[in-house]
């Protein structure tokens, strides 16, 4: 199988979000329902913004799938932006007959904390909308679609990927799971929680924190974890920097809007330890998985990955990994695109 590659295109209020996945082998069973299921999960969660109420995301295969199976050629998936109907003239690809209409008035004030100012400087735009439409988190719709294809492929290989929230603002889940045992987490409770936290009491406290932040007109940061198990050892490598799995994983996670830190296993806590203590901990790591299933920049054989956003991989009896991700986002918080 060739190396998988994911490319996305589309603007937030353009006609569609587009995902192209190359490297998927021929013959993989794949239906729109497989993609739509993950798109629906992206749209649920406590405190979601108004855009979620406007959209009801469904995918269409434009290429690469026939009669429910992949062809081995690039897979192209489109997800329509239903809100585009209200922005059709503003987002039209053809030049307008006149720019005098109020709807074409350029956006000239960059928003703090967004890509607006950097985009204006880099590309020479005078209208911020030329930046913010692509820099929008709406782009993650295409990532979820592509991720759903990969998730379907991984399922054929017996690999499971899940995610959960472990803190939101000042609310922190007290119990640390056993990263060598995915069954130590009640994943059904995670799915049922409006904030993807298995602890019902903590979940309720997180919802209250979201309500309080909304009243203040404020936002909250948080930490989510990504777990994968059933992963074969030997992924990644050390010979070149392009092969280093921890670098590839952290780069992808850090590219998600709002994610500002990525940790592998207990990497941030390990940074507080002297070298000798860390080496002793590493010697115990076959049973504790504190480095997230990764050693020497490659996958050993262990279980979970944590995203604070943070990250690494090694071997445990299932051959899995754990990743941890730190993010700052608005008052809606649920790692649906990562589960």
User: How far is Cα of residue 10 from the mean position of the Cα atoms in its chain?
Assistant: 17
pLDDT in tens, 151-196: 999 999 999 999 999 999 999 998 777 888 899 999 999 999 999 9
Position 315 pLDDT exceeds 60: no
Which of these three, 94, 122, 157, is where a domain ends?
157
Residues 6+ apart with CB under 8 A from 296: 238
Instruction: Please compute the mean of the pLDDT values over residues 325-331 and round it to a whole number.
Output: 49
Which CATH number characterizes residue 277's domain? 3.60.150.10
230 lies in the same domain as 328: yes
144 lies in the same domain as 168: no
Residue 298: pLDDT band with limits 50, 70, 90: low
Instruction: Please compute the mean of the pLDDT values over residues 40-54 and round it to a whole number.
Output: 77
Which of these three, 157, 180, 215, is where a domain ends?
157
232 lies in the same domain as 206: yes
Give the helix/strand (H/E) hosting 116: helix 116-123
165 lies in the same domain as 153: no
Q: How many domains does the chain divide into?
A: 2
Whether the upstream peptide bond of residue 325 has omega within 30° of 0, thus cis, is no
100 lies in the same domain as 139: yes
Domain range enclosing 144 = 1-157
Instruction: Please compute the mean of the pLDDT values over residues 95-113 and round it to a whole number.
Output: 88
Q: Given CA atoms 271, 273, 275, 277 in this order, what sign does their dihedral have? A: negative
Looking at residue 213, what is its pLDDT?
Answer: 93
Which of these three, 157, 177, 203, is where a domain ends?
157
332 lies in the same domain as 198: yes
215 lies in the same domain as 105: no
Do residues 259 and 309 make contact, with C-beta atoms less than 8 angstroms apart?
yes
3 lies in the same domain as 143: yes
């Amino acid at each position: 199988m060739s190396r998988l590659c994911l490319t996305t295109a589309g603007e937030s209020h353009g006609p569609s979000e587009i995902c192209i996945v190359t490297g998927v082998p021929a013959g993989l069973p794949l239906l729109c329902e497989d993609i739509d299921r993950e798109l629906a999960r992206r749209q649920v969660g406590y405190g979601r913004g108004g855009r979620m109420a406007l959209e009801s995301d469904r995918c269409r295969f434009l290429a690469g799938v026939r009669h429910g199976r992949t062809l081995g050629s690039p897979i192209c998936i489109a997800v329509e932006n239903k809100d585009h109907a209200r922005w059709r003239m503003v987002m039209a690809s053809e030049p307008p007959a006149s720019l005098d209409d109020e709807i074409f008035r350029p956006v000239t004030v960059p928003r703090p904390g967004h890509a607006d100012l950097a985009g204006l400087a880099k590309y020479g735009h005078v209208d911020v909308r030329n930046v913010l439409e692509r820099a929008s988190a709406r782009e993650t719709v295409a990532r979820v679609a592509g991720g759903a294809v990969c998730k379907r492929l991984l399922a054929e290989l017996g690999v499971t990927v899940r995610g959960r929230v472990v803190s939101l603002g000042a609310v922190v889940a007290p119990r640390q799971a056993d990263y060598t045992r995915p069954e130590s987490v009640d994943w059904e409770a995670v799915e049922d929680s409006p904030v993807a936290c298995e602890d019902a009491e903590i979940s309720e406290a997180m919802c209250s924190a979201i309500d309080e932040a909304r009243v203040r007109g404020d936002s909250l940061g948080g930490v989510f974890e990504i777990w994968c198990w059933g992963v074969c050892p030997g992924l990644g490598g050390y010979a070149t920097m392009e092969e280093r799995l921890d670098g590839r994983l952290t780069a992808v996670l850090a590219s998600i809007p709002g994610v500002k830190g990525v940790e592998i296993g207990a990497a941030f806590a390990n940074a507080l330890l002297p070298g000798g203590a860390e080496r002793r901990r590493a010697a115990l790591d076959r049973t504790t998985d504190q480095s997230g299933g990764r050693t020497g920049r490659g996958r050993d054989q262990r279980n979970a990955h944590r995203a604070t956003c943070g990250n690494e991989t090694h071997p445990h009896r299932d051959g899995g990994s754990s990743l941890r991700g730190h993010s700052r986002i608005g008052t809606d918080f649920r790692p649906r695109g990562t589960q």
